[in-house]
């Protein structure tokens, strides 16, 4: 499978109000890409654009993108949360915030404070933010 085919398959697997599932052949193709980190941004876009999908806790996609921690994942997650905050990517950001090796704690906290004040952020996302200590 090409990168584009993988991304399309990942998008098609997102079903509102259902548990997210990655087919085995897609999972294998993801790991066989020459640069599997290329999928981090598209995966974050899928999570951000599908707030009603049950991606799991943490789920296959989060496990995948977290493999790229310290390799640009956190910066891409920050951009994704800024663009389209959802309960799931807020939860993902909190996982980064809780990582004692991560030096971006103040960046995360500042972003969260801005989201809490923003009129454009849903009450659902604000409730998710309030579930965590920042």
Contact 89, 124 (CB under 8 A): no
Collect all residues with Cβ–Cβ distance below 8 Å to 70 and sequence separation of at least 6. Answer: 101
Collect all residues with Cβ–Cβ distance below 8 Å to 104 and sequence separation of at least 6. Answer: 74, 78, 96
> Could you give the CA distance from residue 15 to residue 21 in angstroms, rounded to a whole number?
9
Q: Within its chain, how far is the Cα of 51 from the centroid?
A: 11
Residue-number span of the structural domain to which 33 is assigned: 3-130
What does the pLDDT profile of the chain (134 residues) look like in tens digits?
999 999 999 999 999 999 999 999 999 999 999 999 999 999 999 999 999 999 998 899 999 999 999 999 999 999 999 999 999 999 999 999 999 999 999 999 999 999 999 999 999 999 999 999 99
What residues are paired with 54 via a beta bridge? 19
The DSSP symbol for 115 reads H
- Domain count of the fold of the chain: 1
Structure token digits, residue 24? 């085995």
Contact 89, 43 (CB under 8 A): no
């Amino acid at each position: 499978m090409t990168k584009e085919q993988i991304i399309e398959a990942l998008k098609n697997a997102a079903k509102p109000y259902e548990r997210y599932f990655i087919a085995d052949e897609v999972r294998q193709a993801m790991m066989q890409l020459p640069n599997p980190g290329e999928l981090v941004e598209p995966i974050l876009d899928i999570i951000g654009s599908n707030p009603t999908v049950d991606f799991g806790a943490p789920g296959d996609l989060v496990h995948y993108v977290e493999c790229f921690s310290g390799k640009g994942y956190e910066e891409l997650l920050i951009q994704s949360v800024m663009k389209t905050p959802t309960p799931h990517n807020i939860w993902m950001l909190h996982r980064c915030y809780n990582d004692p090796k991560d030096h971006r704690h103040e960046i995360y906290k500042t972003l969260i404070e801005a989201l809490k004040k923003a009129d454009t952020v849903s009450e659902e996302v604000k409730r998710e933010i309030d579930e965590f200590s920042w």
